Amino acid sequence: MVHPDTCGGVRVTREDAVLCITLDRPAKRNAVDRAMADALDAALNLLDDDPTLRAGVLDGGPSVFCAGSDLAAKGDYVTARGGEYGLIRRRRRKPLIAAVEGLALGGGLEIALACDMVVAARDARLGLPEVQRGVLPTCGALFRTLQALPPAIARELVLTGQPIDAARAHAVGLVNRLSEPGQAQADARALAVQITANAPLPVQACLEAMNGLLAAADADAAGWQATEAALARIRGTEDLAEGLRAFFEKRPPVWQGR
């Protein structure tokens, strides 16, 4: 291990052929702003472009994975190569494993869904609370939950806004491995080391083939179009404004259905 580099709320550490990327804005529950998106983008560019690196681990530290978007950023967290958060629309060549401790909510869960595998602590919770705030998931969850989960479970996550615990997420196939609390990053690193022991070019070819099949027939393009159509239906509505107002005022929203 080398001394970690820290920039924009992201710490990066090399461990042999594994790049460990840690979201590090604990006071904001690792919510992503412009600086963090740029730093995450740079770290993932390094993972893809450095031939000595063969896999990556993305974690949020010991207490929370990620609470999604920093609302103060007002959507300014898109990068040219990675899309939202520097990750969501990225075409990666090397495996990336999410290590989840604590909460992975909203965009935080969408970050985990954009990774190739998920290791989660037993007491972690994963959810998509957007509808409780008058908005909707815009960073891939509307179609990636359907790829990762049985449709009924995907609908439950999106439509209720209620999180599920890691044990249930593991049972329904969203989480690859369960860890004891505090051990998710170490277990994700161990999984990454198993991958890096294999021939790198076949690993990259297999990953590209499998991810390509998931996106076959422009399924991703259709997913983004469906997300934008759903967003267009609520843009400018009273309930959208009320949901955000209530969130900042820390009170229950009063929905009007208009």
Query: Which residues are tagged catalytic?
Result: 110, 130
In order of 114, 137, 203, 250, the CA distances from 141 in angstroms are: 9, 6, 26, 25
Residue 40 has phi, psi (to 5 degrees) of: -65, -40
**Which of 82, 77, 70 has the alpha carbon at shortest distance from 42?**
82
CA atoms within 13 A on the CB side of 7: 10
Asked if residues 128 and 102 have their Cβ atoms less than 8 Å apart, the reply is: no
**Which of 54, 81, 77 has the alpha carbon at shortest distance from 66?**
77
- SS3 of residue 61 by DSSP: coil
State whether the Cα torsion 47-53-56-61 is positive or negative: negative
Tokens of 116: 């190739």
CA distance 228 to 137: 10
